[in-house]
Structure 1
Amino acid sequence: MAKLEAAWMQREDLRALVAALGAGDLDTAQARYVGGAVRDTLLGLPVKDIDMATPLRPEAVMERLAAAGIRRVPTGIDHGTVTAVLPGGPVEITTLRHDVSTDGRRATVAFASDWREDAARRDFTINALYADPDTGKISDWFDGLADLSARRVRFIGDAHQRIREDHLRILRYFRFQARFGSQPADREAENACSELAATLKGLSRERVGMETMNLLGLPDPAPTVARMAELGVLPVILPEAAPAALARLIATEVAQGISPDPIRRLAALLPAQAPLAEQVAARFRLSGAQKKRLATVAARDGVQRNPRALAHRIGLACALDQLLIEGADVSALTGWTIPVFPLKGGEIVARGIGAGPEVARILRAVEAQWIAEGFPDRARVDALLDAELARTATTF
């Protein structure tokens, strides 16, 4: 019998939560851990979020948490979800459900009391594992444990039906395949994703963008992204993408010990065209800062530049992105802080130059030489200023 054993299960705040939900008739009031916490524990991975399922209705969950003095938030109470705010982190508690109707974007659900029925509405077998918080006993109705052992990402039941219920499951499949899957991939899953790829057009851009960025943030999504292109999925959400460029970037990141970054990887997938990058950022509903960064990185021209001079001009993050995408060495930027140009316009005016365009020109000239010389100290800046003022006097 498979059992879940983990240090996090012994947390006092979780034990108190389990006791609160389990008070009364244990046959109808028990709760179980479900989903990612169970899956990741079995894989030996860090557990970030803890979810629980329960036959209790959300109103009853709220009442029991209140009686136990546990802070609760009705985060999605209409769909059965209550969040318990614990010292060790929030826990989402969701009432068992079954789908009444779905349209590929949203589902109408009804509360249920059958654990298997709740498991059947989930996406993948490895996400439909439930664990008793007291005994650790795992409930597995769809061979999720075997799939987890084989690193196989497989839809529960008919893959086409699962995708028709929620079209975003296509992108979730590829994200899970990149994170947990092995090769060869599940043929039924890939066929369904390919045949129903066009349904992604009906989803909100924000949902598509978020799922895509989550995929790109994984350690090595390049093989999966390439497969998405082969299956006709990538052209639906990102027709501009060039998967080979992503593979080259990731190889450079690994070689230089650089952590993954989804914005940098999205930039690598796109042509070096700032207006196009802005359009994609808008399509994915990225933040203003992300849009600006993506466009700045897209303005690269492939010309080899001094890394620190480039960073001073466009910022450390954008310079790092451009250089890595172009396969350049970024060691000069490691642990380096962009220095502030120490000369001010008022100092030039004090040297006898009238305020106006000439002051700005001198500032630019001295700063350009300061950058070219590798950001020397203040004494050198003063010497550069003296030389520029001398040239100015000679000119006039």
Structure 2
Amino acid sequence: MKISALKENFNDENRVAITPDTIKLFQRLGLDVLIENGAGNNSGYLNNMYEENGAKIVTRNDCLKANICLCVKMPNQEDLNQLNENSVLIGILNPYENKKYFNTLKDKRIISCCMELIPRISRAQSMDVLSSQANLAGYRSVIDAAEQFGKAFPMMMTAAGRVNPAKVMVLGVGVAGLQAIATAKRLGAVVSATDVRSVTKEQVESLGGKFIMVEDEESTNAETISGYAKEMSDEYKKKQAKLISDTIAKQDIVICTALIPGKKAPVLISQEMVESMVSGSVVVDLAVEAGGNCPLSKLGKVINHKGVKVIGYANVPGKVAKDASALYSKNIFNFLSLIINKEEKKINLNWEDEIVNAVVLTNEGKLRLEKFN
């Protein structure tokens, strides 16, 4: 069986699905590893590094003809047309936005696997793409904020006087939010955070942050079975908006990370709130690709609104491409270990396994996951 990694065709995508370090792991599964020429260049993995570890550098067409084709994002229509029937496609396929490709996947009887649908259970942690990539996004959001912020993060005592520490507020305490808190604390900032889920209070405080939230009956049941935040009622959103409004004017940096899977990101910061911040402050919107937590954020841009910089970088994990690729490749290997029978060298899908059941989008010419109909 042959497994391949495609070179991503998107301008902002620097990641690659196989790294030199994971080649040997895939080979242990009985797979011959093919890498598209230059696939790892943007993440610091050159062709010779792949060849030295046992992979073969080939054309894009050769990669598309492999038994298992790995990608970061969904390939375009032209690429999908080149896939062999009954082959396997694995990546962050974004089925919410890519329904136009479903017919091709079904017609070619592709086994398509959406890595972002890995369930949040302990057994699947090593395969959890959303967590591995969000962790790096949270880190990078603070670095990006520090780059745009015209002051230092830590408190400094000098002969010339004192430099006060930066005040950082994190909205949304998921994986990205927690890493943003940890990174900002390491840089010496005073950090506060808010989330609709009361269970996140202990996590924030364990990292040295101050937790603030709207506490009412709704907040006690604000988490889904999968561990994500639920969409809250309009009444709760009004209370939350007042809480943020009362706090945000005192902050130097605000990092927004709130996402709801498959839905538009909730608006947490209004234009009026941004205008209440001191000139020189920074807002980082990690949810910009899902509509944004701030209406002022522009995809892929840094805008200056009345002295406040609003950062809306797309694909933030791709800005830490080397580490993001390494983690992503390990996630995929761990998932493949679950579905490959290496003795018989074939794919074995066990539908009683909740991970397999959650991830496989199309199989045998049918759309399996009805929620994407």
Give the TM-score taking structure 2 as reference length.
0.29
TM-score by length of 1: 0.28
The structure with the largest helix share of the pair is 1
Structure with more strand by fraction:
2
Q: Which gives a bigger RCO, structure 1 or 2 (Cα 8 Å, sep 6+)? A: 2
Q: Pick the structure with greater CA Rg.
A: 1
